């Protein structure tokens, strides 16, 4: 579904992504892994068009996205849940969920019922301000906001960061349900190894801005973990 090839990205003079390649097969849950500062967030932002790429290809269902605007990329069917969630704290839950719908007149601004079936707590809290929600609830809101646009690929940047352990399991269950039952393709950045092992089929490891290893999750062995993940 998604094929990134030989992607290069610079922050000013600083070469951050070096010929990075990443494949996300249709229907899979693929986990992008690596230590802090290795380029995972930069890769997702570059893929979404929030940072410019110097060279390379970003193919989504065979269409080249690299020179397309962030809006066009999202409209083509990619839902993005950024690191830190980036919900609007002053807006209500309802307003946060409706933000993305503004770009799609055909939705008539109606939040799909599916969002409340997945996240009943959001229905109870529709009139509460986003900033008043717990970390776990904010993460549900951020995922709900991305799903409101009915994406084909859901991209999540460290969805479990800063969230209580019992809620981490809940978020994992929801991602697994979306992927396995609803057949939504998922690309996930995740540092928590047990979580990644539980929900992902494939991994790609980034090290110093380079994609150094990729494979099925059960091929992520102790040597790779020691070399590229252990702090
Ligand atoms: N806005 C920026 N300007 C310059 N350099 C940046 C910027 N953002 C990130 N970097 C650098 O780019 C490199 C990759 O950072 P990035 O945030 O993509 O890593 P990461 O793997 O997502 O790490 P983390 O897990 O900590 O989020 C790091 O060396 C970082 O210092």
Dump pLDDT digits (tens) for 84-133: 888 999 999 999 999 878 877 777 888 999 999 999 999 999 999 999 99
Task: Tell me which of 8, 9, 10, 11 to substitute to probe ligand 1's pocket, judged by most ligand atoms within 8 Å of the beta carbon.
Answer: 11
CB distance 2 to 60 below 8 Å: yes
CATH class of 2-228: alpha beta
User: Is any ligand 1 atom within 6 A of the Cβ of residue 34?
Assistant: yes
Which pairs from 134-141 meet CB under 8 Å and 24+ separation?
A: 134/167, 135/162, 135/163, 135/164, 135/167, 136/163, 136/164, 136/167, 136/170, 136/171, 138/85, 138/87, 139/81, 139/85, 139/163, 139/167, 139/171, 140/171, 140/174, 141/85, 141/87, 141/93, 141/96, 141/97
Can you tell me which atom of ligand 1 is nearest the CA of 83? 27
Token pair recorded at residue 201: 């089929």
Cβ of residue 10 lying under 6 Å from some atom of ligand 1 = no
38: CA distance to ligand 1 center in Å? 7
Q: What is the mean pLDDT of the chain?
A: 94
> 5 pLDDT exceeds 90?
yes
Domains of the chain by residue range: 2-228
Pocket test for ligand 1, best of 7, 18, 42, 192 (most atoms within 8 A of CB): 42
In the predicted structure, residue 12 carries a pLDDT above the cut 90: yes
Residue 105: the pLDDT is 77
Check pLDDT > 80 for residue 26: yes
Specify the pTM: 0.94
Which of 8, 9, 16 is the pocket-test mutation for ligand 1 (most atoms within 8 Å of CB)? 16
Q: What percent of the chain is predicted at pLDDT more than 90?
A: 84
Identify the pLDDT of residue 200.
97
């Amino acid at each position: 579904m998604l094929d990134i090839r030989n992607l290069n990205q610079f922050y000013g003079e600083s070469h951050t992504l070096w010929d990075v390649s990443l494949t996300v097969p249709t229907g899979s849950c693929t986990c992008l892994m690596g230590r802090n500062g290795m380029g995972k967030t930069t890769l997702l932002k570059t893929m979404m068009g929030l940072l410019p790429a110097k060279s390379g290809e970003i193919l989504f269902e065979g269409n080249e996205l690299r020179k397309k605007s962030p809006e066009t990329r999202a409209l083509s069917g990619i839902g993005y849940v950024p690191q830190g969630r980036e919900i609007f704290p002053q807006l209500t839950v309802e307003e946060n969920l409706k933000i993305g719908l503004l770009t799609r007149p055909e939705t008539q601004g109606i939040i799909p019922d599916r969002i409340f079936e997945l996240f009943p707590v959001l229905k109870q809290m529709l009139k509460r301000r986003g900033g008043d929600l717990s970390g776990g609830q904010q993460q549900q809101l951020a995922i709900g906001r991305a799903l409101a646009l009915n994406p084909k690929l859901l991209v999540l940047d460290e969805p479990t960061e800063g969230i209580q352990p019992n809620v981490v399991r809940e978020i994992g269950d929801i991602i697994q349900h979306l992927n396995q039952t609803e057949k939504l393709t998922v690309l996930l950045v995740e540092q928590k190894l047990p979580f990644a092992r539980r929900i992902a089929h494939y991994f790609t490891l980034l090290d110093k801005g380079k994609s150094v290893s990729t494979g099925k999750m059960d091929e992520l062995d102790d040597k790779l973990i020691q070399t590229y993940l252990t702090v």
